[in-house]
Amino acid sequence: MCELEVFGDYYRGCGHFIRSYYSGEKFDCNSQTCGISSAHIHKAPNCRCNKTPYDHQRVVNMFHTPCDECRSFDRLPR
Ligand SMILES: [Zn+2]
Ligand SMILES: [Zn+2]
Ligand SMILES: [Zn+2]
């Protein structure tokens, strides 16, 4: 499966990776049955191959706290 390089922040407190931006860098898996690989063999646009790239996560900042979303969730009354 192909991957797109994405930069972001990793929050160890909750284990979430929050994306900042995609660099445009692509890691091609060279699979003939991967819809977004340059090695893809099917010509029909509606073939059943996967066309969703995975994230290739690049951690820019590492935080020991939970991410903003998890923090605000924590603050909600239970
Ligand atoms: Zn692929
Ligand atoms: Zn295909
Ligand atoms: Zn989180």
43 CA distance to ligand 3 middle (Å):
40
What is the CA angle 62-68-70, rounded to 5?
Answer: 100
Which ligand is nearest the CA of 1, by number? 1
Q: For 10-43, how does the pLDDT look when each residue is reduced to its tens digit (9 = 90+)?
A: 999 999 999 999 999 999 999 999 999 999 999 9
pTM value is 0.77
Which tokens sit at 71? 């923090």
Residue 51 alpha carbon to ligand 1 centre in Å? 8
Q: Find the 78 Cα to ligand 3 centroid distance in Å.
A: 18
Pairing of strands 16-27, 3-11: antiparallel
Q: List the chain domain ranges.
A: 3-75
